[in-house]
Amino acid sequence: MSEQTPLVGQRGSGGPFVTLVTGTEGPRQRAPRSVVYSMALAQFGLFVALLAPVTVSLALKVQTLMPAADAAAATGGVLSAAAFVALLANPVIGRLSDLTLSRWGRRRPWMFGGAVGFVVALAIVALAPSVPVVLAGWALAQLTGNMILAPLLTTIADQVPEEQRASVSANVGVMQNLGILAAAYVASWFVSNMLLLFVLPAAFAFLTVALYCFVLPDKPITKRPATGGWKVFVMTFWVNPLKHPDFAWVWISRFLVVLAMFLFITFRLFFLQKEVHLETGPAVQALTTGVLINTIALVVFAKIGGWLSDRTSNRKGFVIAATAVFALGTALLAVTHDIGMFYVVEAVMGIGYGVYTAVDTALVVDVLPNPDDSAKDLGVLNIANALPQSLAGSVGAILLAMGGGTENYSALFWGAGIVAFLGAVTILPVRSVTRRHAEGHN
């Protein structure tokens, strides 16, 4: 990696920023394997610990505190309320890491401190004597988890040059889905031991993040930029869609695709019980097998899609095609009534979402309004990840109630398919990467 000597600059009325000698294009040399591999491992460790509660652990914990008939609603309430903590924490912490003045760098102190707090937060959840304490612990976990996640994802922009980004960004989607798969197995191993169920994944996350902090060449800034006061600080979280339309369209697309995904994830078990006519035990087994099929397809095609995108310098076309494939898979659930077809759909969705996660993250980095405020802007983008997770339950309930009743799964998945397809359509207006692709072939 080239030496990155910080200089302090101004961005007109937009507020302060830090310019590195690598320039607005970011780093020019390929990130070393030690950074790439430890980054991926840290992502995996964090996603296992974050997604195990979302997948099943919180539901199991809440069921130990109240009647099963009330546990589903209570679990949904905990997840939704804490998701808003994540929504706010990610861009704020990202911006603070942009401005951090520390001998250990800008990103490293936040990640290490977050990892310590994350273990404490999940221990609180594991030992909670009531649902309100579970909520407090999980909200703290969302806060400290985003102290890790926001700067961790920003190191892609810090450390990885543009021609390598899709391949490295593919690891985000791969590790997230491997985390979902690992979470299912963790729950089955420690279902009767709440402390191990929550704390063991948190300890694993701490070790992997600490390793990345040790390996990361996180260059410190030596002068604290003028903040311009709290008003300027708050205004930096606003990205003007008229001035930065490509970023706005990518934000809308990410919001729609993630909403479609969580309409599936949130109601997948209930779908298997109602539409495929499985009892609870077989439905859980089918869900685990489906996650495994989805993950294998996603891992394989994320790496293929990321490699092809880097080789062809094409982001936009891959994102549109992948999102359309994912939309098709989601809509197929509306006409799925047997386990074999369900597994086929899981594979189709894994293929589409695998390519999407690989290339879309690289596309996002390519259209950032200001690379010098990358953590802040990626934090704003992360709202499009967090907000749909909070809305999926209520949007899904509305779709399920269409036509009367509460179990209209055809409406749910036709609706999710349409939402995902709109996510593909909203990439069409993106222009800057198209121009860059054309210039690269002239």
Percent of the chain with pLDDT over 90: 22
- Give CATH superfamily name and number for 30-237: MFS general substrate transporter like domains (1.20.1250.20)
| Mean of pLDDT values over 175-200 | 80
Rounded distance, CA 371 to CA 356, Å? Answer: 22
Answer yes or no: are the C-beta atoms of 205 and 333 closer than 8 Å. no
pLDDT for 92 equals 80
Dihedral angle over CA of 369, 370, 374, 378, nearest 10: -10
Q: Is the pLDDT of residue 185 over 60?
A: yes
Q: Is the pLDDT of residue 230 over 70?
A: no
pLDDT tens digits for range 140-159: 999 999 899 888 888 887 77
pLDDT for 376 equals 64
pLDDT for 71 equals 63
Higher-confidence residue: 23 or 135? Answer: 135
Percent of the chain that is helix, strand, coil (3-state, to 5): 75, 0, 20
| Mean of pLDDT values over 110-119 | 93
Answer yes or no: are the C-beta atoms of 241 and 100 closer than 8 Å. no
Q: Is the pLDDT of residue 393 over 80?
A: no
Residue 273 pLDDT grade (very low, low, confident, very high; cuts 50, 70, 90): confident
Least confident stretch, 69-78, 161-170, 388-397: 69-78
Helix (H, G, I), strand (E, B) or coil at 20: strand
| Domain 240-442, CATH among 1.10.540.10, 1.25.60.10, 1.20.1250.20, 1.20.58.1690 | 1.20.1250.20
Retrieve residue 345's tokens.
């759909």
pLDDT for 70 equals 60
Higher-confidence residue: 319 or 67? Answer: 319
β-strand pairing of 6-10 with 16-20? antiparallel
| Backbone φ, ψ for residue 158 (5° rounding) | -70, -40
Contacts by 77-82 with C-beta closer than 8 Å and gap 24+? 77/135, 78/131, 78/134, 78/135, 78/138, 79/54, 79/138, 79/389, 79/393, 80/390, 80/393, 81/135, 81/139, 82/135, 82/138, 82/139, 82/141, 82/142
Rounded distance, CA 238 to CA 251, Å? Answer: 13
Rounded distance, CA 262 to CA 258, Å? Answer: 6
Q: Is the pLDDT of residue 285 over 90?
A: no
pLDDT for 18 equals 30
- Specify the domain boundaries for CATH 1.20.1250.20 within the chain: 30-237, 240-442
Retrieve residue 344's tokens.
């086929």
pLDDT tens digits for range 402-440: 877 667 889 989 999 999 999 989 888 887 654 444 444
pLDDT for 417 equals 94
Query: CB-side exposure of 262: number of CA atoms within 13 Å?
Result: 25
Burial of residue 169 (CB within 10 Å: 0-12, 13-18, 19+) is buried
| Mean of pLDDT values over 106-118 | 91
